[in-house]
Amino acid sequence: MTTLFHKYQGTGNDFIIADNRKGELNGLSTETIHQLCDRHFGIGADGLMLLQEKEGYDFEMKYYNADGKEGSMCGNGGRCITLFALHAGIKKEIYHFSAADGPHESIIRTNGIIALKMKDVHEIRKHKEDFIVNTGSPHLIRFVRDLQQEDMVTKGRAIRYSKEFAAQGINVNFIELEKDEQVVQIRTYERGVENETLSCGTGATAAALICYHNENGFNDVHVKTKGGILQIEYDRVGDQQFQNIWLCGPAKKVFEAKLDLEIFRK
């Protein structure tokens, strides 16, 4: 079975995307998806997404982690699949789509930036000296002094597989404020990828909520990932209420190719 796959990236967070509106890719196995995402034996990606039909929406975003298992919300993935939807002939001023954590809106702005509306957040929990916040996917946020010197893989993996988090899994983010405290630097260890990624949209969003500039009202926080800058806009209403959260940043198509899936099933 030969299928057309596409590769997209958003600040270095890269994805394999395919149009599955006819259902031809239903039933892809965990192992096949894992092999497709393998950077040595497949296409290579942080995850795979299928654009699908869903009544009442412009499309459904079906997301799988690089380990082949169905994942929770992926922010950069949501931005990339919005651009893919446009390229696939779905043309809207505002896109309405369904994802693992519910409905989302997205907009392709005139400057090429793709803005994705995230779910509202109603709680930030303290965990020892760290913070835990769910922005569609669960994230642990830790402030560090020298971010670039951190052994992100070793330390991130240790937290992700610790007794508290091993069963459900958690994404681990180390962050550092730049000197003027206007920009947040971040590095992320992602569950499902089980490695550090160049960028994580839900992680950047979680960090931005913690590093607000205004006690109440509109906030605009820039988050510097290894793959580029993400801008998170939101309204802070009290200590634990975050609304109108928009994850904004670039997304690009990298390439497309036809693949015989039987190769990956052997």
Active site residue 74: yes
Q: With contact defined as beta carbons under 8 Å apart, do 50 and 22 qualify?
A: no
Tokens read off for 92: 């809207």
CA atoms 38, 40, 42, 43: torsion sign: positive
- Helices within 22-65 (DSSP H only): 30-37
Q: Per-residue DSSP letters for 168-193? A: T--EEEEEEE-TTSSEEEEEEEETTT
Output the CA angle 240-243-247, nearest 5 degrees: 115
Active site residue 37: no
In whole angstroms, what is the distance from residue 199 CA to residue 221 CA?
16
Q: Per-residue DSSP letters for 251-263? A: -EEEEEEEEEGGG
In whole angstroms, what is the distance from residue 227 CA to residue 248 CA?
14
- Please report, as a single letter, which amino acid is at residue 189: Y
Find the catalytic residue in 80, 200, 211, 248.
200
**Which residues are catalytically annotated?**
74, 200
